[in-house]
Structure 1
Amino acid sequence: MIIKGIKRVIFSGVVLSTLVSSSLAQENKQKQIADSLAFLKTFNVKMPIVKTPVFKQDTFDIVKYGAKPDGVSLNTNSINQAIDACHKNGGGVVVLNEGVWLTGPLYLKSNVNLHLRSGALLLFTTDKSQYKLIEGSWEGKPAVVNEAPISGYNLENIAITGAGIIDGNGDAWRFVKKSKLNESQWKNLVASGGVVDKDGSKWYPSASYQKGYHIKDATVIKPGTKPEDYTELKDFYRPNLVVLNSCKKVLLEGVTFQNSPAWNLHPLMCQDLTVRNILVRNPWYAQNGDGIDVESCKNVLIEGSVFDVGDDGICIKSGRDEAGRKRGMPTEEVIVRNNVVYHAHGGFVIGSEMSGGARNLFVYNNSFIGTDIGLRFKTTRGRGGVVEKIYIANTFMKNIPGDAILFDMYYAAIDPVPMAGEERAAPKVEFLPVTEATPQFKDFYIKNVVCIGAEKGIFMRGIPEMNIQNINLEDITIKSKIGIELIEATNINLKNIHLVSDQTNPLILVENSKQINISGLKSDTEIQNLITLSGDRTEAVSLTGPSVITAKDKVKFNFGAKPKSLKINK
């Protein structure tokens, strides 16, 4: 009788738990719909419909093809045979059950769902001879690379799903900067082997890597050569963990992707990509250890995911310089919602390789906690490309070491936050001719941002021949050391900006910019200098609202800026 009673109690608990889970799921779904409708209404936009893959229910257990979950046996052939058999059968699900599955490179096939059940750890071998040198892509340009641990080319209807973990064993590939480790960590790393640079600032996994690092354009394939001609520098050519090139209807769901040699996830020229409820992890010292880099893709949904990585978290790209412009494929029709980014160089990022352009990006309900920069938009001369029609709402940030919101057209491929004691000179300002290599940032609409703790609230820096243009920020609350800096910017509209800034001398700097409209400004700190206007090209700056009634006594004009360039309205 007691046993029966226990069974009834347990059964009731299961039913109750199921009902609660179902209720919460329905509540969350209703909230997501409401949030989406509110976003559409706010910006009067139409978001894309992203198609998802559908698979046959047939399952293919990799054990039946000889795979062993002992962490020692190399299962490359077994897993690839299961994928191939599934594909030839018309598709289905290739299943990895619990265990440690050591493997070399895996090649996805159309209509195949690679599914990792809870407890499954797919671990990629550190034996670099298992990875072929191929012609691939590195930071937006054609390049020599080692093939990715997981790759797919020209496929349709593919997925990586489940609750398991995919580990790229990236520490075997990466170099490490001493400045990113504490003394004990650095000593242990050096003692593990590898090579230390002459100046003692960097550790390399091998002499081959060190040699490649110090050769300019070492990844570029020279005319008349083949990838196998670069074997001497093989260690230097770090692969991205997952590369999906020219694929349609792709789903990445539930899985943890971690410890990548370079970027974790690199969908390139894909269409209808869904990324849902994944976890992406890399150590913070992982150079180029981005979370996801969506490059020249169309119809993309990234939602409900968590990123904690060594470089940019969620990043939009479209090729680099002439190669990207020649490809001419923007990243467009992208939804990014309900994600959390912890450590990263940037939470949501566009660039700097955006030479094919980006447009119609819809970003809302995301949180950034401890990212170097929050919203990060970066480019430089030579890129070209137009980034436009970017819509962002409901962004929540905490403990941002750098800028909460950054637009920078002088990207210099260095860490966004200087190390202690590091000094960086401002870029040289000069007018250059406008060409196809001149980048553009325009038509951004950003609403409802809260940031508690940043070095700088808002930073915009364009170039003289192509200002950052038509940037609209509304309902922004930022607690930061420094307020707002606008440099080489045109038609910037700041409405209902609430600043809690340690440095109010000045609270706002406007340099060589025009058509700057600031209304509804509020500051919780005593203002020494509300606004400084600098440069003889500054004009048509407008301040409106009760907080600026006494602003006439708190305005400065430097380096040729004229009093007539500023209008103060009650």
Structure 2
Amino acid sequence: MVRKVNFLLRGLLPLALLVSASLHAATLRVNDFGAKGDGAGDDTKAIQRALDKAAGHNDTVTFAPGTYRIGSIFVKNNTHLDIPKGVTLIGIQSLSAYPQMPTRVAGIEMTWPAALVNVYKQQHVQISGEGTIDGDGSYWWKSYWDLRATYEPKGLRWASDYDAKRPRLIQVFDSSDVKLGGGLQLHRSGFWTVHICYSHDVTVDGVAIRNNIGGKGPSTDGIDIDSSHDILVQHADIDVNDDALCLKAGRDSDGLRVNRPTYNVVIRDSVIRSGAAAVTFGSETSGGFRNVEAYNLTAEKNVSNGVLIKSARVRGGFGENLRVHDLHLDGVKTPIKVTLNWNPAYSYATLPKDADPKAVPPYWIPLTTPVPPEKGLPHFHDVHIWNIDAKNATTAIDMSAYPNTTLDNFVIDHVTIAAKSAGSITNTRNIKLNDIQLKIEDGSVLKFADNAELQGQDKVQYGITLKQ
């Protein structure tokens, strides 16, 4: 009898704790902590006071309608940040408003400005509502282009993204049990919009990302999942100028040192209006990707690719058990693209001959540290791409790797593409094609080269699409 009672008590304890937490949870208004929401003053400290008060108590922090100018704010353990409709958090255009802190940026561990909204080494956090988080990005975009204009003639294109320090909109770093969405409007990020790094059990559900308001923000990725696991992204509506939904895992020597994969990820039920691809793997591939599924994605004419796998011969890493299916593409230039020699001016970093290694930024050193070929060549295998419906494309399929690091065990089936030209498939081993319908305006057919154990070339059917 005593044993039975103890068992019942143990079973009731978590419920009692949950009920207790709910009874004691409070709703805190930032306005009661001094925030004005008048669009003029700096509300950062007042909002942070409310967040600090809520931390650890399952409290909700919310806002009266208004526009709140802020620098970096930090949402802490067991807190719900509610940003209701009629509320805008707008970023201050000064680097001093974003404290420098350890993080990872574009595959390199380094010190970088905090994001506008941060979940940094926390647990059990929710950020939701139909309000707007606005990075006011034009200032940061101009700073990037100005610096890049001076760097490119010096052969420093690769350094531009690192030296032009720009705040991300939302950072989830080394955190778990985080939920983001509920209709949030994410506008004009200075750099990446949502960066999920070294984190797990994160859900992004219901966000609209708009980084082309009042200009075109460079490198304004939508949602980046970086060396993280057990991630769900769904119901996103994205308009950006770089990768929209992207898997990352570190870059070159530093990424290989860290060696943390991205795995157990589901991306689904989303719309991409402008960006580099509907879904992207890379180019930061060093830690590898495993068990990723992306499906039911719709991409429009300002999207360059459908599924994009990109890396470089110094990245290393791998991709395995990747599944991409049910993509609906209209005007997307290349529905299926794989390249392991992506953007050489950015991917292959070398110190200028006259540079003093002791005088350059410290992160230049891992960026320019040579990676041996046996470690630098990435390897993608066991990838399944199916149910792709694309029209008004430029090139149907463009896949290439290297003779000594082939694309292995790819399966591509149930694909219908109308495009200007067919494209090519090279450097593969044991690729299987089935039910491929290509309607090609110029009458070309797929070019095949260096494909060992190719299966299903006869399963590719061609037709001609007349130019509209």
Same fold by TM-score greater than 0.5:
yes
The answer to whether 1:314 aligns with 2:245 is yes
Report the CA distance between 1:109 and its aligned residue. Answer: 0.5
Instruction: Tell me whether 1:82 sits opposite 2:50 in the alignment.
Output: yes
User: Contact 2:202 / 2:230 at 8 angstroms: preserved in 1?
Assistant: yes
**What is the rounded CA distance, in whole Å, between the counterparts of 1:337 and 1:363 in structure 2?**
6
Equivalence for 1:263? 192
1:239 to 167, 190, 195: 167
Within-5 A mapping of 1:291-310: 291-310=222-241
1:100-499 correspondence to structure 2 within 5 Å: 100-175=67-142, 203-204=145-146, 216=156, 236-253=164-181, 254-283=183-212, 285-370=216-301, 371-400=303-332, 402-412=333-343, 435-499=374-438
Measured in 2, the distance between the counterparts of 1:369 and 1:515 equals: 35
CA distance in 1, matches of 2:280, 2:272: 11
Which one of the candidate residues 41, 45, 49 is aligned to 1:73? Answer: 41
- List gaps (5 residues or longer) in structure 2: 1-17, 347-370
Residues 473, 414 of structure 1: CA spacing in aligned structure 2 closer, same or farther, 3 A cutoff? farther
Q: Match of 2:442?
A: 503
Deviation at 1:526, TM superposition (A): 8.9
Question: How big is the shift at 1:97?
Answer: 3.0
Kindly indicate whether the alpha-carbon contact (under 8 Å) linking 1:219 and 1:237 is maintained by their aligned counterparts in 2: no
Letter in 1 for 2:329: M
Deviations 1:194-233 (A, max 9, x none): 8xxxxxxx952xxx78667768475899xxxxxxxxxxx7
Task: Say if 2:104 and 2:197, in contact at 8 Å, map to a contact too.
Answer: no
Could you tell me how far 1:135 is from its partner in structure 2?
Answer: 3.7
Rounded to whole Å, the distance in 2 between the matches of 1:349 and 1:168 is 24
Deviation at 1:92, TM superposition (A): 1.5
Paired position in structure 2 for 1:536: none
Q: Residue by residue, what CA displacement relative to the aligned partner does 1:460-505 show, whole Å, maximum 9, x if unpaired? A: 1011110111110111000001114012122111100011111223
Change (3 A) 1:143 1:220: farther
Deviation at 1:263, TM superposition (A): 0.5
Q: Which amino acid aligns with 1:435?
A: E
What do the CA deviations read for 1:428-476 (whole angstroms, capped 9, x no partner)? xxxx985122101111111111001111111110111101111101110
For 2:232, the aligned partner's letter is L
- 1:46-66 Cα deviation digits (max 9, x unpaired): xxxxxxx99844211000001
* Secondary structure at 2:403 match in 1: coil
Task: Report SS of the residue matched to 1:67.
Answer: coil
Corresponding residue pairs, total = 415
From the two aligned structures, give the one with the greater strand fraction: 2
CA distance in 1, matches of 2:38, 2:344: 41
Change (3 A) 1:212 1:78: farther
CA contact (8 A) 1:86 1:93 kept: yes
Structure 1: gaps spanning 5 or more residues: 1-52, 176-193, 195-201, 222-232, 416-431, 528-570
For 1:363 and 1:122, locate their aligned partners in 2 and report how far apart those are by CA, in whole Å. Answer: 31
Q: Answer 1 or 2: higher relative contact order, Cα 8 Å, separation at least 6.
A: 2
Distance verdict in 2 for CA 1:509–1:219, change over 3 Å: closer
Q: What is the alpha-carbon distance in structure 1 between the residues aligned to residue 317 and residue 239 of structure 2? A: 29
RMSD, aligned CA: 2.5
1:131: Cα distance to partner? 2.1
- Per the TM alignment, residue 315 of structure 1 is displaced from its structure 2 partner at its CA by 0.2
Letter aligned with residue 318 of structure 2: V
Distance in 2 (CA, whole Å) between partners of 1:282 and 1:513 is: 40
TM-score (norm 2): 0.83
Deviation at residue 132 of structure 1 after TM alignment: 2.6
Q: Is residue 2:443 matched to residue 1:516?
A: no
